Amino acid sequence: MHIRKSRARHAITAVALAGVAALALSACTTSGSTSGSTAATGGTVTVAVVNDLTSLNPSTPQGNVDTNGQVGYLNGAYGSGFQYIDDNYKIVHDDKFGTFEKTSDDPLTVKYTLNKADKWSDGEPVTADDMILGWAMQSGYYDSATFDEATGEVTSGTQYFTPAAGTAGIDQTAYPAVSDDNRTITLTYAKPFVDWELFNPIALPAHVLAKKAGLSFPADLTKLLKGLPKGDKAAPTAPDATLKKAADFANTGYDITAFPTDKDLLVASGPFVVSGWTPGQSITMVKNKYYAGGLKPKVDKVVFRIIPDSNAQVTALQNGEVDIINPQASADTLTALKATSATVLAGDQVSYDHLDLNFGAPVFQDPKVREAFLKTIPRQQILDSIVTPVNPKAEVLNSQIWLPSQDEYAASVKQNGSDKFDKVDIDGAKALLAGATPTVRILYNTNNPNRVDEFQAISASASKAGFKVVDAGSPDWSKLLPGGNYDASLFGWISPGAGTTMIPQLFATGGGGNNNRYNAMNDVAVKTQTTVDKDELITLEQQIDKATFADGYGLPLFQLPGIFGVSSRVDGVKYMGNQTGPFWNFWEWSVKSGK
């Protein structure tokens, strides 16, 4: 299922994009698209989004939020380049940007070639130097870090880059071979990698990171990388100061609270570039005049309007202030949308809400306390109040790996032990606690009505068993999530809908999405990335699914429904249930003539 981003949702990364990729999901049921014959080029499309911009690098744990990822999808920051995922969750190659092909199965070898016309938005060429940097950022090749399993902190050695997707799979590659014309790299894997087709070696501009590290040219950064040895956690050496400086900038230098005065932060390889940002109000993106890939937009400008409230989004659409909305689905929102002249597109999202317990928190070191708390979670009540009014056929989610629409879901539910938590069991929880009254601090997004409702329902139920639930909610929940200063968390994952990269991201030690420090399935999670036999892969995933319920990892709550509202002014919008939302086919959008 493997998913992330909300209302504040996090995005599960498919190697390249902030967030985790899941198993290939079944296509969503949708209600169509907007289309017409009156399309014109030019114009502006305004889209309402729930969350504000926090970083221009959506690949880090703290930057891995839906709006950051959607901006990154348009400007090429881990979102576009060699491939994209369509609304059938199929991987589509963009050969106009560059080509990539598997040239050998044993060993797995993949060749990436840039087109000569590729340039960054500042006019600098996109070269193999950029691909070498992208590989270094995502492979962990130079890392020698050992992590504390309880806290996730580095206890020895060095971790240079901190990709939210983790490094599993790409960490099996040797230093890439580079062509003489500096436009091609070839990756050779020591082991098979099931999601090799999702890896995108274009990330941040090498010439910018070289500059921030005190180097004159991107070739100097490549020379440094080529000369450094592979990291060895068994015998870590002192970190290279120059690479550390470049990595530190990649990790945190793109996090912003105002429109950057440093224009280097705006350099992009995708079809659009960020041209303005008023925090809390809007983000403006304009066409990248140097973009030479195949996803060339018809419109000149895309504006993100930050409108957290669903009803306010509908009102803005009705008043012509925005053209597209993707609000949190509710019965009231759907009714209000249908009363407007907008086209309503609906379907399932490859997204789910969940409660995670923090294995690094003292209160949950005792497995009996974990089980007792989970026995109090009123999942059916939460579903009935939030989702059932929109989708009467919705059901409580009983898997950490699959969604109900997937073929493997039913078989896994039969064996994973989720039935232990089918119903609230206050008496059972009390028996496990034996008179204890543990305090549990729950982190969630206070700006998200659904999360507020979830927290209140859980708090009321858990208190009946003796738990003292503390409201640790915050509008800055996404920044607090990686730190672990809480006992449990409520949020949602949303996925690209293709690949299995989410598994180590969530369940491997040091995984970019393993915020709750659950490490029991580390070896199995890592093995999923090199298991190409489908039946063997399903067996491994079933092991994880079963272990998470047995260990008290947390509980999945429900799959999220999705709705778009689209004004008659815009054509080309199609429903998409993954983390890119309505932006997934932005190059097909057009503003109707005369409007």
The CA-based angle 431-433-436, given to 5 degrees, is 130
Helix (H) or strand (E) holding 324: strand 324-325
In the three-class reduction of DSSP (H, G, I as helix; E, B as strand; rest coil), residue 414 is classed as helix
CA distance 115 to 99: 8
Distances (CA, A) of 221 to 61, 153, 209, 518: 24, 27, 8, 36
User: Quick one: DSSP state of residue 97?
Assistant: T
Residue 373: closest CA among 358, 353, 394: 358
DSSP label at 40? Answer: E
**Token pair for 165:** 């997707």
**Residue 543 is encoded by which pair of tokens?**
């092991």
Q: Which two tokens stand for residue 200?
A: 């995108």
Helices (H) and strands (E) counted in the chain, each on its own, are: 16, 22
Helices (H), 24-173: 66-75, 128-139
Q: How many CB atoms lie within 10 A of CB 338?
A: 11
Structure tokens at 99: 């080509």
Q: Are 451 and 491 in contact (CB under 8 A)?
A: yes
Q: Which residues pair with 344 in a beta bridge?
A: 565
3-state secondary structure of 518: coil
In this structure, is the dihedral angle defined by the CA atoms of residues 209, 213, 217 and 220, taken in order, positive or negative?
negative
Identify the pLDDT of residue 498. 79
Q: Per residue in 373-429, pLDDT tens? A: 999 999 999 999 999 988 888 999 999 999 998 889 999 999 999 999 999 999 999
Q: Tell me, what amino acid is at 420?
A: K
In whole angstroms, how far apart are CA 102 and each of 39, 131, 181, 528?
Answer: 38, 17, 20, 20
How far apart (Å, rounded) are the C-alpha atoms in residues 139 and 154?
Answer: 17
Place of tokens 């009467």: 392
- The answer to whether 62 touches 55, Cβ cutoff 8 Å, is yes
Residue 83 burial by CB count (10 A; 0-12/13-18/19+): exposed, middle or buried? Answer: buried
Please provide residue 311's backbone torsions phi and psi, each rounded to the nearest 5 degrees: -65, -35
Residue type, 471: D
At 101 the pLDDT is: 97
As a 3-state breakdown, the chain gives helix, strand, coil percent values, each rounded to 5, of: 30, 20, 50
Scanning the structure block, which residue is given the tokens 């090429």?
Answer: 76
Distance CA 100, CA 112 (A): 4
Residue 2 neighbours by CB under 8 Å, 6+ apart: 12, 20, 21, 22, 23, 401, 493, 495, 499, 500, 501, 502, 503, 505, 506
Reading across the β-sheet that carries 590-592, which strands appear in turn?
A: 39-40, 590-592, 570-571
Which pLDDT does position 22 carry in this prediction?
Answer: 27
Query: Hey, what domains does the chain have and what are their CATH numbers?
Result: 82-253 (3.90.76.10), 349-501+531-560 (3.10.105.10)
Three-state SS sequence of 418-443: HHHHCCCCHHHHHHHHCCCCCEEEEE
Predicted pLDDT at 69: 92
Q: Which residue has the tokens 């949602």?
A: 492
pLDDT at 34: 65
Q: Report, as ranges of residue numbers, the positions in the chain whose pLDDT lies below 50.
A: 1-9, 11-31, 36-38
- The secondary structure of residue 119, as a DSSP letter, is B
Token pair listed for 427: 């008496």
CA distances from 595 to 43, 104, 323 (A): 9, 52, 11
Strand partners of residue 45 = 302
Which structure tokens are listed for 554? 């947390």
> To 10 degrees, what angle do helices 241-248 and 218-227 make?
120
**8 A C-beta contact, residue 336 and residue 563:** no
Q: Which residues are within 8 A (CB) of 401 and not within 5 positions of it... i.e. 6 or more apart? A: 1, 2, 22, 23, 408, 412, 503, 541, 542, 544, 545
* pTM score, whole prediction: 0.84
Provide the pLDDT for residue 35: 60
Count the neighbouring beta carbons within 10 Å of the beta carbon of residue 594: 7
Measured between alpha carbons, how far is 450 from 96 in angstroms, rounded to an integer? 42
The four Cα atoms 331, 333, 336, 338 give a dihedral, to 10 degrees, of: -80
- What single-letter amino acid sits at 161? F
CB 347 within 8 A of CB 329: no
Q: What angle do CA 540, 545, 550 make, to 5 degrees?
A: 120
